[in-house]
Structure 1
């Protein structure tokens, strides 16, 4: 009898190996497998349990912060200066609860949950529109909770999940998965254009304003497919928390620099 259990050395991948895996994945996206060691007793647990150590989570967040701060961020700032664009965010009144809790949950369910659950995306994406348009309120929070419960119910383990379904659509989806993945990342970035106040802006400058969000969307999409939606939400929250903590620290201890 063959022992299928993985040893800790084999099940844990190096961070460098994950970066290589990410690069290969975005070149040829596919929703077939998870990272080594991510197998779980059911599809629901595998999808929602993050299964990532705090160190690895922080490593990915730090990599995104560094690339956005030193490479993509300056490009976005230069483009904003050329176009006379200003950001809507008020450093003195940062909605930290929205950024750290609400946005990761809503945006991951809206943009990336369907990357592994395309059938659920057919009802979940249109259903999420009121939650997105009206923002964090009591009734939208209850509605979001109901959608998450329904999504979990739909992801429960079934012996014959595709019984009675025409699977031609599934083959078509898999054949065009690369287009779907990258269109989701681009849409995620494009939505963040609403964070700015515009004057007369050349259209060709608009993509430059959201280069950091585009890269972040690619990483979150890879994380969602290869580790699960729980890991993507956790990384999203961690990534958003970093700049907020930095702005808070500057406002508290170096207010002159903030002004």
Structure 2
């Protein structure tokens, strides 16, 4: 990632946080945060944002989840008998750091700013999401990314897939519902991380409160900075807890089964 220009650096983290809270209350498709001039498709995937700023967002999300939402999720899991599926002896690094950030961001958030493209992109990515990181799913995602990059590769003018004007106006009216609906679906998908056992349905939303909050932050980042930024933050967010688990296991290895 290149260094952000002076205009982009002028927005402090506190200002970004306030903008995020306004977005949660009333999601809007514009404006973007300041960025350098350039081809829109390229900047969407390679945004003007520093790794330090993204890490700061990850730390804030980790803190909120650790101190507030995580304990609620743990209490709900204990009350309902749900168990996390994570295999401590085989931590899924590649899936958590690369596969999930790419496929889940394409599925749930890429279309927020490009609803015309979402008509074909979302179904293809849902197939890949359900299949997991198998060779044909990886090939499918690679084809999707190539098609997304095609306007830049052929030096075409930077513009999203066009929708008729009346459809675009209708989409902007329902945009808040689309954002919050996508975040709820994103959280619901992560119920698959648990063996639910006899967990009652009304406890299930509490199990994925951390993913719901993270989905809101990723949606804001996708809309304001680009899909590349949301993928990077997604990978950072997944990597932090796994790194902690790995370090704990190095210090206190699992007993032999």
State the TM-score, normalizing by the size of structure 2. 0.91
Report the Cα distance in structure 1 between the residues aligned to 2:6 and 2:207, rounded to whole angstroms.
Answer: 42
Report the Cα distance in structure 1 between the residues aligned to 2:119 and 2:20, rounded to whole angstroms.
Answer: 27
Match of 1:31 in 2: 29
1:145 to 124, 142, 145: 142
Contact map agreement 1:25 1:222 (CA 8 A) in 2: yes
Contact map agreement 2:39 2:158 (CA 8 A) in 1: no
1:220 to 218, 221, 234: 218
Report the Cα distance in structure 1 between the residues aligned to 2:52 and 2:88, rounded to whole angstroms.
Answer: 29
Answering whether residue 228 of structure 2 is matched by residue 230 of structure 1, we say yes
2:113 to 109, 113, 116: 116
Report the Cα distance in structure 1 between the residues aligned to 2:9 and 2:254, rounded to whole angstroms.
Answer: 49
Which structure 1 residue ranges, 5 or more long, are not aligned?
Answer: 1-5
Report the Cα distance in structure 1 between the residues aligned to 2:69 and 2:37, rounded to whole angstroms.
Answer: 36
SS of 2:105 mapped into structure 1: helix
Aligned-CA RMSD value: 2.2
With 10-19 and 170-179 compared, the bigger mean Cα shift is at: 10-19
Q: Equivalences for 1:88-167 in 2 at 5 Å? A: 88-153=85-150, 157-158=156-157, 166-167=164-165
Answering whether residue 50 of structure 2 is matched by residue 53 of structure 1, we say yes
Contact map agreement 2:8 2:48 (CA 8 A) in 1: no
- Deviation, 1:82, is 0.2
- Deviation, 1:216, is 0.2
- Deviation, 1:148, is 0.7
Report the Cα distance in structure 2 between the residues aligned to 1:159 and 1:252, rounded to whole angstroms.
Answer: 48
1:82 to 45, 67, 79: 79
Match of 2:191 in 1: 193
SS of 1:98 mapped into structure 2: helix
Task: Indicate how the Cα distance of structure 1 residues 10 and 223 shifts in structure 2: closer, same or farther if over 3 A, else same.
Answer: closer
SS of 2:109 mapped into structure 1: helix
Report the Cα distance in structure 2 between the residues aligned to 1:26 and 1:108, rounded to whole angstroms.
Answer: 18
Per-residue CA shift, 1:18-60, capped at 9, x if unaligned? 1011001111111121112x24312112211132112111100
Contact map agreement 1:50 1:234 (CA 8 A) in 2: no
Per-residue CA shift, 1:126-163, capped at 9, x if unaligned? 11232112111222211111111112225775388777
Contact map agreement 2:36 2:48 (CA 8 A) in 1: no
Report the Cα distance in structure 2 between the residues aligned to 1:64 and 1:187, rounded to whole angstroms.
Answer: 19
Match of 2:201 in 1: 203
SS of 1:251 mapped into structure 2: helix
Match of 1:3 in 2: none
Contact map agreement 1:104 1:237 (CA 8 A) in 2: yes
Report the Cα distance in structure 1 between the residues aligned to 2:68 and 2:21, rounded to whole angstroms.
Answer: 17
Answering whether residue 67 of structure 2 is matched by residue 70 of structure 1, we say yes
Task: Indicate how the Cα distance of structure 1 residues 135 and 85 shifts in structure 2: closer, same or farther if over 3 A, else same.
Answer: same
Contact map agreement 1:72 1:212 (CA 8 A) in 2: yes
